[in-house]
């Protein structure tokens, strides 16, 4: 008797527990869609801003999180109507060694040290978290065109906050190429990095004065992709050999780097009249007050990015060649003379003995 009573008591206890968790365990997408499936479902913030709470089920079902339940991310929703809903924390799943197999790795850790991560930590409410760039209910793989962080969509995603820079970029050589559908043109992240975006003033930033030439070299250097488009790939090597490049190697950050002359978000081709490197504008570009204020049009005349070892450089090539032959022949001559002199001395010394 007592055994039966014990079993009943146990079952009743189990029932109580499961009853307590009933809302959670069966809170499926269908249930949420009762409200969030309505296109005009919204809330009004204290500031008066109207925020849509509509979630398009058809889109959600195609995202990388299609198999996830709403509450897998919105873990703080336990009752209807919801109270005190917090922003979703992606790191609940995307951390090293997570059991659900969510992608993780170094990239995810870099964010905390990036300018955005630091701002978030410092309490800036405007600073972006994961879903500001990757999307909330519309996270697609980056190689899909509808992804917020697909190559062609990155500039507009970043542009949601950095709108002026986005406008400048759209007009630049890189931006117009992107609009024209060029698959190699750099977007924001090509230069700035992704999760590791740093302030340009910081020395470990990809766009800091000390590193920007390396970043540009990824495309404009000897192995750069620009060769495909008939753009010269000796731009960064000639820079490294110039006085500016040498000075930079000697840790002098006052000298010009790529961006000093070419600009950064507004890089334009030489033929563009608005370009800082258009022949008409070069005197002003060289003559910046902090660079060569005495620079005249005469000073700025002549090729930049010249390579003395290439025959295209004209007189410079012949001077460089001439000195090479002169140096080799003079030194070979002197060296032979010294050897002969030493041989003679040795012979005389032997004869004396």
Angle at 224 between CA 218 and CA 225, to 5 degrees: 115
> With contact defined as beta carbons under 8 Å apart, do 266 and 284 qualify?
no
Query: Which residue number, 21 or 335, has a Cβ lying nearer to other proteins?
Result: 335
What phi, psi does 12 have (nearest 5°)?
A: -60, -40
Q: Is 284 in the site for other proteins (CB under 8 A)?
A: no
Q: Enumerate residues 42-71 that contact other proteins by CB under 8 A.
A: none
Given candidates 294, 350, 352, 353, which one binds other proteins under the rule CB under 8 A? 294
Q: Chain centroid to CA 4: how far?
A: 68
CB-facing half-sphere around the CA of 189: CA atoms within 13 A:
17
Residue 250 is a binding residue for other proteins (CB under 8 A): yes
Among 49, 273, 298, 353, binds other proteins (CB under 8 A): 298
Tally: H helices and E strands in the chain: 18, 2
State how far the Cα of 265 lies from the Cα of 274, in Å rounded to an integer: 13
- Rounded distance between C-alpha atoms, residue 162 and residue 188, angstroms: 11
Query: Is there a contact between 188 and 265 (Cβ–Cβ < 8 Å)?
Result: no
Nearer to other proteins, 156 or 320 (CB): 320
Asked if residue 257 lies in contact with residue 209, where contact means CB atoms within 8 angstroms, the answer is yes
CB 220 within 8 A of CB 233: yes
- In the complex, minimum distance from the CB of residue 275 to other proteins, in angstroms, rounded to a whole number: 18
Q: How many residues bind other proteins (CB under 8 A)?
A: 41
Among 69, 246, 281, 311, binds other proteins (CB under 8 A): 246
Considering only 50, 302, 352, 353, the residue that binds other proteins (CB under 8 A) is: 302
Q: How far apart are CA 249 and CA 244, in angstroms?
A: 9
Query: What does the per-residue mask of binding to other proteins show for 202-241, with x meaning CB under 8 A?
Result: ----------------------------------------
Binding residues among 320-349 for other proteins as defined by CB under 8 A: 320, 323-324, 326-327, 330-331, 334-335, 338, 340-341, 343-345, 347
Site for other proteins (CB under 8 A): which residue of 251, 280, 312, 352?
Answer: 251
Measure the CA–CA gap between 52 and 75, rounded to whole angstroms: 20
Q: Which is nearer to other proteins, 27 or 304 (CB)?
A: 304
Q: Is 351 in the site for other proteins (CB under 8 A)?
A: no
Q: How far is CA 48 from CA 35, 145, 192, in A?
A: 21, 34, 35
Contact between 252 and other proteins by CB under 8 A: the answer reads yes
Using CA atoms, how far apart are residues 207 and 114, in angstroms rounded to an integer?
Answer: 13
| Interaction of residue 35 with other proteins, rule CB under 8 A | no
Q: Which of 64, 165, 177, 300 binds other proteins (CB under 8 A)?
A: 300
- The residue ranges that bind other proteins (CB under 8 A) are 243, 245-247, 249-252, 254, 292, 294-296, 298-304, 306, 308, 315-316, 319-320, 323-324, 326-327, 330-331, 334-335, 338, 340-341, 343-345, 347
């Amino acid at each position: 008797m007592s055994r039966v009573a014990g079993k009943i008591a146990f079952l009743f206890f189990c029932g109580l527990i499961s009853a307590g968790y009933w809302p959670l365990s069966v809170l499926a997408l269908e249930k949420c869609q009762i409200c969030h499936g309505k296109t005009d479902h919204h809330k009004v913030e204290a500031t008066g801003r109207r925020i849509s709470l509509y979630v398009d089920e058809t889109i959600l079902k195609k995202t990388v999180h299609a198999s996830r339940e709403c509450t897998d991310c919105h873990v703080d929703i336990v009752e209807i109507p919801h109270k005190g809903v917090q922003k979703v924390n992606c790191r609940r799943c995307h951390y090293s060694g997570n059991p659900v197999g969510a992608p993780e790795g170094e990239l995810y850790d870099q964010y905390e040290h990036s300018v955005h991560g630091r701002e978030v930590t410092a309490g800036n409410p405007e600073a972006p978290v994961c879903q500001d760039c990757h999307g909330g209910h519309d996270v697609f793989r980056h190689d899909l065109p509808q992804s917020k962080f697909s190559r062609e969509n990155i500039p507009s995603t970043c542009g949601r906050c950095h709108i002026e820079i986005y406008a400048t970029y759209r007009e630049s050589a890189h931006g117009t190429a992107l609009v024209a559908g060029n698959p190699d043109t750099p977007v924001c992240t090509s230069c700035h990095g992704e999760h590791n975006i740093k302030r340009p003033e910081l020395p470990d930033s990809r766009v800091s004065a000390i590193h920007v030439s390396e970043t540009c070299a990824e495309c404009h250097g000897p192995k750069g992709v620009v060769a495909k488009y008939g753009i010269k790939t000796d731009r960064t090597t000639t820079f490294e050999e110039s006085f500016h490049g040498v000075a930079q190697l000697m840790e002098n950050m006052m000298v010009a780097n790529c961006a000093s002359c070419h600009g950064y978000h507004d890089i334009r081709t030489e033929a563009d009249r608005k370009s800082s490197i258009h022949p008409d504008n070069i005197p002003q570009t060289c003559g910046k007050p902090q660079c060569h204020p005495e620079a005249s049009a005469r000073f700025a005349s002549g090729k930049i990015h010249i390579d003395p070892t290439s025959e295209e450089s004209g007189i410079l090539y012949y001077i460089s060649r001439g000195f090479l032959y002169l140096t080799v022949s003079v030194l070979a001559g002197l060296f032979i003379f010294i050897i002969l002199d030493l041989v003679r001395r040795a012979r005389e010394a032997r004869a004396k003995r």
